[in-house]
Amino acid sequence: MTLPTRISDAIKPWAERSPDQPALVEASGTWTYRQLILVVAEVQTWLVDSGVRPGDRVMIVCENCRAFVAILLALAGLDAWPVLVNARLSAREVDEIRDHCGARRVIFTTSVSPQAREHAKRHGAVIQEAAGLGPIALGPLNDKVAPEPIDAEAEQRVAALIYTSGTTGLPKGVMLTHRNLLFVAAVSAKIRSLSPDDKLYGVLPMSHAVGLSVVLLGSLLSGATLYLASRFDPVAALATLEKERLTVVLGAPGMFSLLADYAKLKGLQSLTFPALRIISSSGAPLQPTVKSQVESLFGMVLHNGYGVTECSPNISQAVLGEQRTDTSVGRVLPGVEVQLVGSDQKPVAEGEVGELWVRGPNVMKGYYHAPEETAAAINPEGWFNTRDLARLENGYLFIVGRTKELIVRFGENVYPAEVEAVLNAHPAVVRSAVIGRTVEGTEGGEEVLAFVQLLPNSLMSETELAQHAAQHLAPYKRPSQILFVSSMPLTPTGKVVKGELAKWAQFAQTR
């Protein structure tokens, strides 16, 4: 497979071959492939004039829009590092990422995101009309940071730095190269037979790996048209599907669940979109009830896939056209190897559950400024440990759980340690422990449950502590329920016994 050198090169063939083909469409207007390549060139000049150098980390606090795409591609073409940050993160989370990556500049997509406007205001950013982007906010220059060395091979340079919260509660920057992202974009596009005739719905956040590689780059590599939405709304989504005759919709399980709920509310038994040929779910476990509801509503297969940020993100994808009643996440991508390892570190037999290890062109370069964590995740032979539990049956992959404590809420990873750190920071809290609780039949997948031990005689209420958490955590990380306890079950060394808390949670749920 011949891939472009950089992600910014993906649009060049189409700008020459079909310059008038619409590339990006949003409510405020459309850019053809010719216009997109011209805007990217203008943005590069603007960035250089703003002090951006090769190897600099430039943070984009964003939601999906044309300006984001142009800035991303312009930075990639300059060999700067785009640091992608969802504008819906809290002030604490945004600032932690900015400080950790050593951002030279921070850019905010203020025209489509109220949250980006708030972050911009807090950072002292100036809103300006720049390089054909419309209103955009540029933060102050950080002249204390040095650029990263430039890798000799252009395709091995970092094309995106995406942060996932580590189990310690501190953010980890996943370094994804041009080759990582383009490999996944090309393979997933080939599996779906994407072409210039396709019209994709771009609602998955492009600050996250699946929205970036599979949706955005997969579309641009194929010369297709991408309809951008900054956030999901079932009414707007259905209107766009009908009006624009979309052919491919990739979403999270929560999105499809909301569509099913909306149809039920309106008394709609079925939805007919003659142009639509693929609907596919990723980003979180797909509940069987959601799959069957959506398939009945659309009269077509809801495909499933699986990945992790560190693998750019796709590891497996459903086989197009196959009707499956289970929730298999499909076959492993061509060119990617997997192995399932037992607790004895030996490969498990066919059909047995093991920890999933992955090797291939999709595996990240490493964690930024974290050599020890990188070495713990990727062994000397290049195998990456997903820390997910899975099984293989006749070549089909099934994800059966997560090692240790990871909670998946609305398709986002929530690490208990991060939530606990925020709760423990409150002066009235002695200690806290956070676990996940599965919520059957909802789009959330799991909810975040917090057990909290307060200082003796404290009058703190659940509402007050919830407000404290809301100030420091993104909405999906906030506890759905806070349970006050007089003491915690502890090991002799003082660690909370979370298995015991899970039993308490079941009791609390049945009361």
- What pLDDT sits at residue 468? 94
Whether 368 maps to a domain, the answer reads yes
The average pLDDT across 89-101 equals 93
Whole-model pTM: value is 0.82
- What pLDDT sits at residue 508? 64
Q: Would you place residue 168 in the very low, low, confident or very high pLDDT band (cuts 50, 70, 90)? A: very low
Residue where a domain stops, chosen among 326, 358, 389: 389
Whether 401 maps to a domain, the answer reads no
| Residue 417 shares a structural domain with residue 305 | no
| Residue 217 shares a structural domain with residue 175 | yes
- How far is it, in rounded angstroms, from Cα 353 to Cα 452? 34
- What pLDDT sits at residue 166? 47
- What pLDDT sits at residue 492? 41
| Residue 358 shares a structural domain with residue 412 | no
Any residues with CB less than 8 A from the CB of 144 and at least 6 apart, and which? none
Whether 267 maps to a domain, the answer reads yes
The average pLDDT across 272-288 equals 87
pLDDT at 236 over 90: yes
Range of the domain at 475: 407-510
Percentage with pLDDT > 90 across the chain: 72
Q: Would you place residue 443 in the very low, low, confident or very high pLDDT band (cuts 50, 70, 90)? A: low
Whether 395 maps to a domain, the answer reads no
Q: Would you place residue 439 in the very low, low, confident or very high pLDDT band (cuts 50, 70, 90)? A: confident
| Residue 191 shares a structural domain with residue 126 | yes
Beta bridge partners of 384: 358, 378
Closest C-alpha to 186, from 25, 16, 34, 333:
333
The average pLDDT across 65-91 equals 97
pLDDT at 105 over 60: yes
The average pLDDT across 350-376 equals 95
| Residue 162 shares a structural domain with residue 210 | yes
| Residue 311 shares a structural domain with residue 423 | no
Whether 1 maps to a domain, the answer reads no
Residue where a domain stops, chosen among 339, 358, 389: 389
| Residue 434 shares a structural domain with residue 341 | no
The count of C-alpha atoms lying within 13 angstroms of the C-alpha of 366, restricted to the half-sphere facing its C-beta, is 15
pLDDT at 298 over 60: yes
pLDDT at 409 over 60: yes
Whether 2 maps to a domain, the answer reads no
Q: How many structural domains does the chain have?
A: 2
Any residues with CB less than 8 A from the CB of 142 and at least 6 apart, and which? 102, 103, 104, 105
**133-145 pLDDT, tens per residue?**
999 999 999 999 9
The average pLDDT across 85-98 equals 93
Phi and psi dihedrals of 193, rounded to 5? 55, 45
- What pLDDT sits at residue 413? 67
- What pLDDT sits at residue 167? 41
The average pLDDT across 370-378 equals 96
pLDDT at 344 over 90: no
Q: Would you place residue 493 in the very low, low, confident or very high pLDDT band (cuts 50, 70, 90)? A: very low
CA 175 to chain centre: 14
Closest C-alpha to 278, from 246, 306, 252, 255:
246
Which of 98-107, 322-331, 419-428, 473-482 has the highest mean predicted lDDT (pLDDT)?
98-107
Whether 400 maps to a domain, the answer reads no
| Residue 367 shares a structural domain with residue 414 | no
Beta-sheet strands, E only, within 326-462: 331-332, 337-341, 354-359, 366-367, 384-393, 396-402, 407-409, 412-414, 429-438, 446-454
Q: For residue 479, is the peptide bond before it cis, meaning its omega torsion is within 30 degrees of 0?
A: no
- What pLDDT sits at residue 506? 72
| Residue 307 shares a structural domain with residue 450 | no
Residue where a domain stops, chosen among 389, 415, 431: 389
**172-219 pLDDT, tens per residue?**
999 999 999 999 999 999 999 999 999 999 999 999 999 999 999 999
Give the CA distances from residue 192 to residues 163, 195, 248, 252, 498, in Å, rounded to whole numbers and listed in that order: 28, 9, 9, 17, 42
Average pLDDT over the chain reads 91
Whether 215 maps to a domain, the answer reads yes
